[in-house]
Amino acid sequence: MEYDEDARWDKPATLSTYLTHKDISEASSGSLIGSPDSKRYDSPVLKLIGESKQKHYRKVCMPLTTEKWKERWSKMCLLPSESSEEDKELAAKTAEKWRLNPAFERGEVTITRLDEAEGIIVMISDWLELDAADDWVRHDAEIALKQELAYAAYLNVHTAILPAPRNRDHVASYARMVNSCLTKYPYICLSIRLPIYNPSAFHPTSPTPVSPFPDSSISSSAGTPSLIISESEGTAHSSRGSVNATWEMWDLIRSMCEYNIKLTLTLDLSPALPTTLGVLSKWAAESVRHIYLPASTFIANAKGYPVLPKPTQQFIRDSMIHRPTIILAGVSEGQHSKGGEVAYSQYVRHLEKTSPAVMTLRKEGTVENFAQGYQDYLQAPLQPLMDNLPSITYQTFEQDPVKYMQYEEAMYRAFLDHPKDQKIVVCVAGAGRGPLVARCFKALARSQRKATVIAVEKNPNALVTLQERHAKEWSSHDFHLVFGDMRLVDVPEKADILVSELLGSFGDNELSPECLDGAMRFLKPSGISIPSSYTAHLAPLSSSKLYNEARSTKQEKSMETPYVVMFQAVNILSGTKATADGRCGPQVQECWEFEHPRRDALVNDQGLPFTNSHNARSAKLRFYIPHAGILHGLAGYFEAVLYGNIGLSIHPHRKDQVSKDMLSWFPLFFPFKEPLYLPSNSELQVSIWRLTSDRQVWYEWHAESFITIPSRASVSEELTGQSLSPSFSGNSSFSSMASPLIDPKELAYLDVNRLSIPDNDGGEYDTVKIGHTSLHNPGGRSSWIGL
């Protein structure tokens, strides 16, 4: 298997410092003159970069343009309302010349040389209003944006951070501009700077100049405005929507940009973070490339050293597993009395070292350590009947001590349930290179039992290894080797215990039911199977990274194929508790179960089932979605009972109790071709089928989304177009009721009074469908497992 070698955790997170206009100005004005470093550095910018590297910053972030550029653009494109007609005409002519051939003048950019731009992250001018209400301001802002990106491309800059969108009514215009730039400048990664919630808390509102164009009567702000949630609905809605607003804007932007892999996020942690988990967890599934962390976010501890508030501290710890670049800003300005500039970077390094996720990843023997390089890496499931596995695949699975310890314990307990004087017959179906055979002999020794062990294996190459191990390790044991497909061959004698390791990430996805149907012929009427049963489980999942990986081939079948993947940048959308009315189940829900041996199976004279129809399954699951998110796919897990209370599990809530640090199985990912938006407090219904023909087994899956509304409102609006109750009309409480996009817990954080939905019909609600996906993989057209 190939994997990303760079993804192994052998490097700390990247720390960057942010250089301000003031820093650059001071370096230019006099710090170089007569200093010992004056001969070492050819320019003020190179001196600042050199000093940053000496402070162990690996990257430097700085604005691309100066205040001089802002002043010229403002004079051309924004005029105060009291300007004379002569000034307006002159500005219009100057602006037209600039629009015809956009270019910088001397002193308008901070970087002028190629060596100054090496390894630099540039900040695009944050005063550009790419989503201004004024059409002409947006038009000129787009020209200015492309001018800055063209210059960055000229300097071979690899990453540019764009200013945040501020006006939700015009965020589509912002997204269109970003998409245009991604196409025009394919070698620059664009990162959008966004706070986790409403930036109005730290963006001041400024005076309002007007456009110089005679046909434009719409005014626009020249400064950095606060976020406008909706111009038509006023400030009350703004305060209620502020928590989800920035994520909703990001979702619209990346969707309109078709999930372009060169578009990432720079999360701005300037405002204090909310404590509500739902507000923060949705960002874990996004492409967060940078975290902007100003000194003002830090607070002083009892000794005066800078530390972060607990919610921000926890967020940084959790984010370290994704290795973002941390951009520290303003840390040299002495905002805290102790520690100096180095205290900030030392504290961030401390958070990284004490991050539970990072500590687990670095600890040998954990799944996370074993899976380094495989995180969010899509792998096609195995075809166990069609393909003969290479030795390296067997070797990878055999590195899992937990799985084989569990199997040994299960066999040991099964052997103890047989009398000492009774000779046991054990059949290992699908022996591979022999790890289960070796564990079987260990369990026999522990239990002081004797047994005849029969190994069945169809892989002719693995057969050589089994023959070699028989000769060198197992020659003193009563051991028999049978070569062939377990559904076709016969064994020397009937078995008391059938042992197999044919399970897949979804339990049955590597055809364990079909294989064991054929092997049940080997059992005595009283015989048992290890495993005795296994169940498949699902949960709705959001992950832009996995969605992008699945669609990267641009083939439809890639979006209809279940993948084995070690989840990392994902967010499980469903709630952890069932809803009060019982309609929705827990966060992860069971789909179906298989048991072995099946005592009720109809078989022919050879002991084989007439058809495979008994192995078809279907499930319809209902999930409660507490927080708004985007459905990109389904996460599949399995649990297996080996014997008694000994089992195997990759269920996210139970794996540590059942088989902690088991390495052999990663979850399964069922992608959706069309991302489905799920508002807060909505319901997701998932349908999934396991289908079969004489030659193949495949899965089909589909999802629908719903919200609940007061039944009387829905009936009156549908039949008459108006509400029958006065309380639902005009500016009533119904028109201002809480949006399903808003999380009640998030509102509590903002200290906003929750509004109850009017209840004029005894608390009755209707479920209203709001969206669905297509049926995926119908007839097994894209993915299947061959029989």
Q: Give CA–CA dist 180/191, Å, rounded.
A: 14
Q: Give CA–CA dist 460/466, Å, rounded.
A: 10
Q: 368, 408, 510, 549: which one is catalytic?
A: 510
Return the closest-CA partner of residue 708 out of 683, 742, 745, 729. 683
SS3 helix, strand, coil % of the chain, rounded to 5?
35, 25, 40
Return the closest-CA partner of residue 258 out of 182, 320, 324. 182
**Sequence letter at residue 274:** P
Q: Give CA–CA dist 522/486, Å, rounded.
A: 9
| Beta pairing class for 424-429 and 495-500 | parallel
Return the closest-CA partner of residue 191 out of 286, 324, 282, 289. 289
What SS3 state is found at 454?
A: strand
The answer on whether 403 is annotated among ligand-binding residues is yes
The answer on whether 142 is annotated among ligand-binding residues is no
Length of the chain: 787
Question: Backbone dihedral region of 384: left (phi > 0), alpha (psi from -120 to 50 degrees) or beta?
Answer: alpha
Q: Which residue has the tokens 């200290």?
A: 751
The answer on whether 457 is annotated among ligand-binding residues is yes
Instruction: Identify whether 398 is a catalytic site residue.
Output: no
What SS3 state is found at 209?
A: coil
Tell me whether residue 202 is exposed, middle or buried, using C-beta atoms within 10 angstroms of its C-beta: 0 to 12, 13 to 18, 19 or more: middle
Q: 501, 514, 683, 746: which one is catalytic?
A: 501
Dihedral in degrees, nearest 10, Cα atoms 17, 22, 25, 27 = -50
* The token pair that represents 652 in the structure block: 């996210």
**Sequence letter at residue 693:** S
CA distances from 615 to 135, 427, 698, 775, 782 (A): 61, 23, 11, 21, 20
The answer on whether 377 is annotated among ligand-binding residues is no
Supply angle C-alpha 321, 327, 331, rounded to 5. Answer: 125
Backbone angles phi, psi at 525, to 5 degrees: -55, -30
Give the distance, in angstroms, between the CA of residue 425 and the centroid of all CA atoms in the same chain.
48
What SS3 state is found at 201?
A: helix
- Specify the long-range contacts of residues 87-94, CB closer than 8 Å, at least 24 apart: 88/212, 88/214, 91/212, 92/212, 92/213
What SS3 state is found at 314?
A: helix
Q: Give the contacts of 563 (CB within 8 A, at least 6 positions apart).
A: 378, 379, 380, 381, 550, 668, 669, 671
Instruction: Identify whether 501 is a catalytic site residue.
Output: yes
**Sequence letter at residue 717:** E
For the beta carbon of residue 220, count every other beta carbon within 10 angstroms.
22
Q: Give CA–CA dist 557/697, Å, rounded.
A: 16
The answer on whether 71 is annotated among ligand-binding residues is no
Beta bridge partners of 210: 79, 219
CB 622 within 8 A of CB 684: yes
Return the closest-CA partner of residue 156 out of 178, 188, 127. 188
Q: Which residues of 467-490 are buried (b: 16+ CB within 10 A; e: fewer)?
A: eebbeeebeebebbbbeeebbebe
* The token pair that represents 236 in the structure block: 């009350």
Q: Give the contacts of 5 (CB within 8 A, at least 6 positions apart).
A: 373
The answer on whether 394 is annotated among ligand-binding residues is yes
Tell me whether residue 382 is exposed, middle or buried, using C-beta atoms within 10 angstroms of its C-beta: 0 to 12, 13 to 18, 19 or more: middle
**Known binding-site residue numbers:** 394, 403-404, 457, 485-486
**Known binding-site residue numbers for S-adenosyl-L-methionine:** 394, 403-404, 457, 485-486
Catalytic residue numbers, as ranges: 501, 510
